[in-house]
Amino acid sequence: MSALIECQNLTKAYGNKKALNNISFEIQSGQPIALVGPNGAGKSTLFGILAGYIPATSGEAKILGHNVGSPELIGRIGALPQDALFNPNLTIQQQLSFLARLQGFGRSKAFKEAARVLELMQLADTAKEKITALSHGMKKRVAIAQALMGEPELVLLDEPTAGLDPENARNIRQQVMALSDETTFVISSHNLEELERLCEQVLYLDQGELKAQHIIGQQTEQQTLSYLTVRLVVKNTAIVSNIKQLTAVSQIELKQGDELVIGYNSSENPILDQQLLQLLAQHKVPYRQITHGQSLEDQLFMK
């Protein structure tokens, strides 16, 4: 079976500037995939190429075995561009029905499909409104509804929750989770906690280069240390020296005073988590959470 996405030496240059520089990777269908990287890393450019909006300068990008932009992919990919544009003269229902017709739906099926995705995004009440009458968050949800039309196998979401209030952001995350068994989502966001909750894999782009591709929470081959992350209820710097004395602890970082990231050799001490709990109890240090592994932020940025 073909990979869901396969890029080989993909490059996109704008004049002398390489927005993507010779990147190669392969992704299989499955749980959501995070695309992360600082501003200007090339995330939107990669989405644009995969969705068929932007031509690559060189290299190859295939989806489900077909070159990006090829007619075989119509209706099989959905995309939420960073700045989705809609026709201000049409109602939301007309707009989405029109897009469904472009995907090959007949008139009445197109209407039903538009209504289905609007319902999915809890937008049924706005079907008769024009896009100009909607708030930023609602526009975003319309754009996501558009990306879900035709039940595509791959949905590319460029910053789907940016600028949304917490409740709407949560609704979108819930929709993504609910649809993830049938559809593979690739999601870019600057909210690493959100991606960590939603995604199983991460692609990390920086200055047009692919710096990492790995499964979230899984140790990489180069990594010899295991990690425990402890969130304390109140800041406590004194406990650090006690933790350092536990067997096999080789690294400890205190972040913002209340989060401890402990690096240790788990084959030397497989019960460090239990010893840590005892130590915290002994010193009457309350904690909110202890997790195995590092946060996505630490996995990406901690040296």
Site of interaction with ligand ATP (CB under 6 A): 14, 17, 19, 37, 39-45
Query: What's the min distance (Å) between Cβ of 71 and ligand ATP?
Result: 25
Q: Which is nearer to ligand ATP, 184 or 188 (CB)?
A: 188
Burial-class residue 281 by CB neighbours within 10 Å (0-12, 13-18, 19+). exposed
Q: Which is nearer to ligand ATP, 195 or 230 (CB)?
A: 195
Q: Which is nearer to ligand ATP, 44 or 226 (CB)?
A: 44
Query: What's the min distance (Å) between Cβ of 12 and ligand ATP?
Result: 8
Q: Which is nearer to ligand ATP, 40 or 137 (CB)?
A: 40
Query: What's the min distance (Å) between Cβ of 64 and ligand ATP?
Result: 23
Cβ–Cβ under 8 Å, residues 225 and 250: yes
What are the residues whose beta carbons fall under 8 Å from the beta carbon of 36, sequence distance 6 or more?
43, 188, 189, 190, 192, 195, 202, 203, 204, 205, 296, 300
β-strands 184-188, 201-206: how paired? unpaired
β-strands 58-63, 66-67: how paired? antiparallel
Between CA 302 and CA 200 the distance in angstroms is 20
Query: What's the min distance (Å) between Cβ of 47 and ligand ATP?
Result: 8
Q: Which is nearer to ligand ATP, 4 or 41 (CB)?
A: 41
Instruction: Count CB neighbours of 298 within 10 A.
Output: 17
Query: What's the min distance (Å) between Cβ of 216 and ligand ATP?
Result: 19
Rg from Cα positions in the chain: 23
Query: What's the min distance (Å) between Cβ of 40 and ligand ATP?
Result: 4
Helix, strand or coil for residue 169?
helix
**Region class of 235: left (phi > 0), else alpha (psi between -120 and 50), else beta:** beta
Instruction: Count CB neighbours of 284 within 10 A.
Output: 6
Q: Which is nearer to ligand ATP, 40 or 75 (CB)?
A: 40
Query: What's the min distance (Å) between Cβ of 14 and ligand ATP?
Result: 3
Q: Which is nearer to ligand ATP, 11 or 242 (CB)?
A: 11
